[in-house]
A and B are shown apart, each in its own frame.
Chain A
């Protein structure tokens, strides 16, 4: 079964073609990393898959459904959830409320205005368990906007995975983190993506090679390689286009 299927996906902004015919198949349960130099179109690709921008041409399928014309929330309802490169949380709500917002739709609460959340014991417990896993229990009642950067990144991952989507897109989850914070984030991503499909854009090669089953290299809007970490390491074209600069 495929979680995400991209067929000749193209995206232009004005006359500039940012994504130039990407074909990619990500099977269910795979941990997949997308790497590439700055401006390669990695985040744009995420924006296309998650419905933030419409594609110019081609076809995207999420869990077997064509996403053409779907709004982000409709794609979310197909079982896909994403995080953002620039932290995107609810700053004037508490950490606990942030997590609970990530859970509400998935637990069928929708737009209900007759049900008090205080009485939703299962929902509260589930949110608290997730806080525990995120190591944020002690910050439960703090406004999310007041958290440290690394804590906000953890919270962002928490909101993303809270609803239990089976396809998770993480956009540079460890960007800007210290060494120890990165280690913790890597551990966190590993545990929360257990049994799910994970696609991440990441610059930290330690995290990429530590987590990914398959690595896709995107350069100037085109996939130049998509293979196992070992093969990517040995791939000439990749070395030239990307890793070569770092190895040198």
Chain B
């Protein structure tokens, strides 16, 4: 570490690439992705893809801000959306103010305005919430979330009631002369702010406050005896988290040009929790992966099935039970084995769990789809089919097939799972013996 820091000022290009490849990769990916969905016939970007990518970017920032509380400080919040929502409302009002008064506030700064909204909300809500930690903290944040959602429907001037606040991002105050009439222009503005916000949040983990947040998560009482007030740590962390959640809210307002009370509501708070947990709260990049998955389910899978929320719930529960470290944890678990150069030995065990796993999943999906078709789809006069494959939902054979695949697959998976675990444990024992893991 000391030699690395010493050389930081005179860092050569290759070492800069090596140390920051993940950031550069993410940036490159976000810049390139819209072009993969470019519609050459009509000569324009796919509106769906751009909205999806924008949503992923803003949910990623939102989830990262959530992880400043959950992963970094061990604070489980059920009301994180209030910080997001207030940021979004701030931006909606600011845009309308610009339009009405012609005060030329650059539109590029709108996410920052959202950040200020989140910051203000964080100062007020955080003052109450951070008086407590653990369960009490979770309860207070939940209460605050409900409180603000209810308030949003009562105080029309600021929140606009059920209709929300509509706005227009085309205010013609760009410092770069960009009109922001096309979604791709907004998308690149969002990419820029998402990168800035993510980078700042990453750097924050390396500061005294960031480290003491970790310390208060691990052992809050001990922080007192090294001179810190854990409450002050929590409060600062909450305020900063609010700032970044507000930036995400600001991005939201730019994309959708309407802000309603559900930006503050429990469902959005749950989204942050799901993305963070599924992605993995243990490392910085986990929530980003979770955001991709959750938004993908929400926007992509939801087009094909009305049961997408059920699938998301099942994934969440499976993660909590079998992979508490989330997707990131699953990757990280393989590192010691990869270091021994024995990742290949897992190929056969993986294949052996993959086959029954797929059968079980297919059976489960078929069953769920059949049930949802019977209750919802049929009444809407839809034909039953999966991935374009037409099936007769009234045939008993198909129901039996689904149930057999589901249960049989599960039993088979359990059997093969033992084999997998035996191999896995043997490899981990070996890694321990060689001192690769403690």
Query: Does B2 contact A104, Cβ atoms closer than 8 Å?
Result: no
Do A115 and B2 contact each other (CB < 8 Å), given the known contacts A50-B225, A105-B226? Answer: no
Supply 30 A–B pairs (Cβ within 8 Å), ascending by A: A72-B221, A73-B227, A73-B228, A76-B227, A81-B225, A89-B219, A90-B222, A92-B214, A93-B211, A93-B215, A97-B211, A101-B226, A105-B226, A111-B212, A111-B228, A111-B233, A111-B236, A112-B207, A113-B207, A113-B208, A113-B210, A115-B208, A117-B211, A118-B4, A118-B5, A125-B2, A128-B2, A142-B438, A159-B226, A163-B226
Query: Does B438 contact A101, Cβ atoms closer than 8 Å?
Result: no
CB distance from B215 to the nearest CB of A (A): 5
Query: Does B226 contact A118, Cβ atoms closer than 8 Å?
Result: no
CA A52 to CA B131, docked complex, whole Å: 18
Across the interface, which residues of A come within 8 angstroms of B236, CB to CB?
Answer: 111, 113
Q: Which of B1, B207, B212 contacts A124 (CB 8 A)?
A: B1
Interface size, chain A (Cβ < 8 Å): 47
The digit string for B218-238, where 1 denotes a CB below 8 A from any CB of A, is: 110111111111001100100
The digit string for A121-141, where 1 denotes a CB below 8 A from any CB of B, is: 100110010000000000000
- Assuming A72-B221, A89-B222, what are 7 further A-B pairs, CB within 8 angstroms? A88-B219, A88-B225, A91-B218, A91-B219, A113-B207, A116-B207, A118-B206
Q: Flag whether A220 is at the interface (Cβ < 8 A).
A: no
Query: Does A101 contact B212, Cβ atoms closer than 8 Å?
Result: yes
CA A152 to CA B71, docked complex, whole Å: 24
Q: Which of A113, A143, A160 contacts B204 (CB 8 A)?
A: A113
Across the interface, which residues of A come within 8 angstroms of B222, CB to CB?
Answer: 84, 88-90, 159
Do A76 and B208 contact each other (CB < 8 Å), given the known contacts A88-B219, A91-B218, A142-B438? Answer: no
Query: Does B218 contact A105, Cβ atoms closer than 8 Å?
Result: no
B231's nearest neighbour on chain A, judged by CB, is: A71
Across the interface, which residues of B come within 8 angstroms of A111, CB to CB?
Answer: 208-209, 212, 228, 232-233, 236
Query: Does B5 contact A124, Cβ atoms closer than 8 Å?
Result: yes
Q: Flag whether A77 is at the interface (Cβ < 8 A).
A: yes
Across the interface, which residues of A come within 8 angstroms of B232, CB to CB?
Answer: 111
B216's nearest neighbour on chain A, judged by CB, is: A90
Q: Flag whether B203 is at the interface (Cβ < 8 A).
A: yes
Do A117 and B208 contact each other (CB < 8 Å), given the known contacts A104-B226, A111-B236, A146-B438? Answer: yes
Q: Flag whether B292 is at the interface (Cβ < 8 A).
A: no
Across the interface, which residues of B come within 8 angstroms of A73, CB to CB?
Answer: 223-225, 227-229
CA A109 to CA B207, docked complex, whole Å: 9
Q: Flag whether A32 is at the interface (Cβ < 8 A).
A: no
CB distance from A161 to the nearest CB of B (A): 11
Q: Flag whether A114 is at the interface (Cβ < 8 A).
A: yes
Do A104 and B207 contact each other (CB < 8 Å), given the known contacts A111-B236, A113-B236, A121-B5? Answer: no
CA A89 to CA B225, docked complex, whole Å: 11
Across the interface, which residues of B come within 8 angstroms of A160, CB to CB?
Answer: 225
